[in-house]
Amino acid sequence: MKQTIETVINLMAASAITAPKAGGKDCLEIVALTEEEDLKRIADEMRKYAHNSSKENYWHRDAANAENAQGLLLIGLAGPVTAGYDCGGCGYQTCNEFEQQREMKEFEMGYSGPHCIMRMMDIGVALSSAAKSASMLNIDNRVQQRVGAAARALGYIECEVAMGIPISISGKSIFYDRKTPSKAALAKSKE
């Protein structure tokens, strides 16, 4: 199965690379992980951070997905670049004005920002293309924000914003009908 997972991850990465991007400029960073130790390390980081979030139970749920997956594709925005469209989606009239006046912020377990809306759409299209490739091969997958944030925090991907697509080959998809621990159960487990 490991060879199959590696093949699927590579095909997903190819789909993300060739996905359409604003202005035809590729500003994405793509990283494929298939080692069990890497996935466990990311899951552990998610669990470690969970208590800092108002959505602690979802961090634990997604950590279980990361730990039980056999591969993970990370897709991120390589830098805080604009598309040059002057579309106003960022709240500024021109891209130049946005670049000059925006105040970049960094979050502990998240992203930097704000970013060009066109570049965020580039990530979305690349994620969709990669997920579709896995789906066409009947490989279970799910686009997840938290796994991307944890992988970014650990330095697996050098980028401004990252999302992840864990994949799994099993008799039943680990990504649906997922068990989200209740806040009461989490509190009890800490006792």
The predicted model gives 11-29 an average pLDDT of 97
Choose among 35, 57, 36, 31: nearest CA to 46: 57
Produce one character per residue of 139-149: b if its CB has 16 or more CB atoms within 10 Å, e if not. Answer: bbbbbbebbbb
Taking residues 156-178, what's their average pLDDT?
Answer: 94
Over residues 114-140, the pLDDT tens digits come to 999 999 999 999 999 999 999 999 999
* CATH code of 118's domain: 3.40.109.10
Average pLDDT for 46-67: 95
CA pair distance 139, 175, nearest whole angstrom: 11
Q: Model pTM?
A: 0.93
Q: Which domain holds residue 112?
A: 2-190
Contacts of 92 (CB under 8 A, 6+ apart): 98, 101, 102
Average pLDDT value over all residues in the chain: 94
Q: How many structural domains comprise the chain? A: 1
